[in-house]
Amino acid sequence: MADECVFCKIASGKIPAKKIYENDNFFSIPDAKPVLKGHSLVISKKHFKNSLDLPSLLGNDLIDCIKNTSLKIIEKEKVTGFNIISNNFESAGQVVNHVHFHIIPRKKGDGFKVGA
């Protein structure tokens, strides 16, 4: 399964991508279909299906990548906030079965609604 995973191909360099930030276990890239300008993804370098499969020991690197990616987006897009979203399992909207987190930059009155 990991051989066919688009995020594994990006992590290994088989598919080129413009990385926003990277550490030992995670990297971030702009979302291919952004819901708002600056929408980005934080992705694990190793293949884990969802957040429940992610080892707790990777928590510090995950937070590091989310934090540093968010700071870069805030500066670049001049936004005043952001959402962090993780869809886990198909019923929750997970499309790619590789753990990833959406960072959605926000401005007051942008019209984006989280959830249903």
Which residue is catalytic, options 39, 47, 98, 100?
A: 100
Q: Give the pLDDT confidence score for residue 114 in this predicted structure.
A: 82
pLDDT in tens, 55-64: 999 999 999 9
Task: Note if the pTM is more than 0.75.
Answer: yes
The yes-or-no answer on residue 100 being catalytic is yes
The domain limits of the chain are 2-106
CA distance 91 to 74: 31
CATH of 2-106, one of 3.30.70.20, 1.20.1200.10, 3.30.428.10, 2.40.160.60: 3.30.428.10
pLDDT at 2: 64
